[in-house]
Amino acid sequence: MKRYLTRLVRSTLAGEPLGRIARRRCLVLSGVLCINSLIAINTALAIDKDSIKHYEYKAFAALIINDNKQMKCLDKLWTKESNWRPTAKNKKSSAFGIPQLLKMTETNPYRQIVLGIKYLDHRYKGNVCLALRTHYDKGHY
């Protein structure tokens, strides 16, 4: 009969106070929660290092563009082109970097962004949404 009783009932029958049982369970539960939290935080940090960089690049570009509508178009355009990766290479051409400019040799991502925005200003008179429409039509801008 004793083996069918729960641990709580067995402890109570054995004379162990309920307060000690509760403290032990809380301690174990707290330890498990701390370990799970640390694992989740470490996993999130490992995954999001690239995402954090992408947000930094987008924030830098947004400071230069200074127009929400144009920035949304730029985000879509460069997400399609390189997914905001400064080391992205085009297999079919010499395009390289975040803006995927031809013959780009610059490896600094912030300089790539500046050069890409200068190109858009020159070619599309600063209308990034027009460049995005061109990309939709032709597959490049």
Same domain, 53 and 36: no
Give me the pLDDT at residue 14, please.
Answer: 60
Q: Is the pLDDT of residue 2 over 70?
A: no
Amino acid at 25: R
By C-alpha distance, which of 96, 95, 86, 94 is closest to 60? 86
Q: Is the pLDDT of residue 112 over 70?
A: yes
Same domain, 28 and 92: no
Give me the pLDDT at residue 16, please.
Answer: 57
The stretch 22-34 carries a mean pLDDT of 61
Give me the pLDDT at residue 58, please.
Answer: 92
Give me the pLDDT at residue 57, please.
Answer: 92
Give me the pLDDT at residue 139, please.
Answer: 87
- 44 or 120, which is more confident: 120
How many domains does one find in the chain? 2
Same domain, 73 and 132: yes
Reading the block at residue 140, the tokens are: 């490049």
Same domain, 88 and 105: yes
Give me the pLDDT at residue 132, please.
Answer: 96
pLDDT digits over 83-100, tens only?
999 999 998 899 999 999
Same domain, 105 and 78: yes
pLDDT digits over 30-83, tens only?
655 566 565 666 565 555 566 678 888 999 999 999 899 999 999 999 999 999
Same domain, 30 and 64: no
Gap between the Cα atoms of 80 and 69, Å rounded = 17
Same domain, 25 and 72: no
Domain that holds residue 34: 2-40
Q: Is the pLDDT of residue 131 over 90?
A: yes
Per-residue burial over 19-55, b = 16 or more CB atoms within 10 Å of its CB, e = otherwise: eeeeeeeeeeeeeeeeeeeeeeeeeeeeeeeeeeebe
Reading the block at residue 108, the tokens are: 């600094």
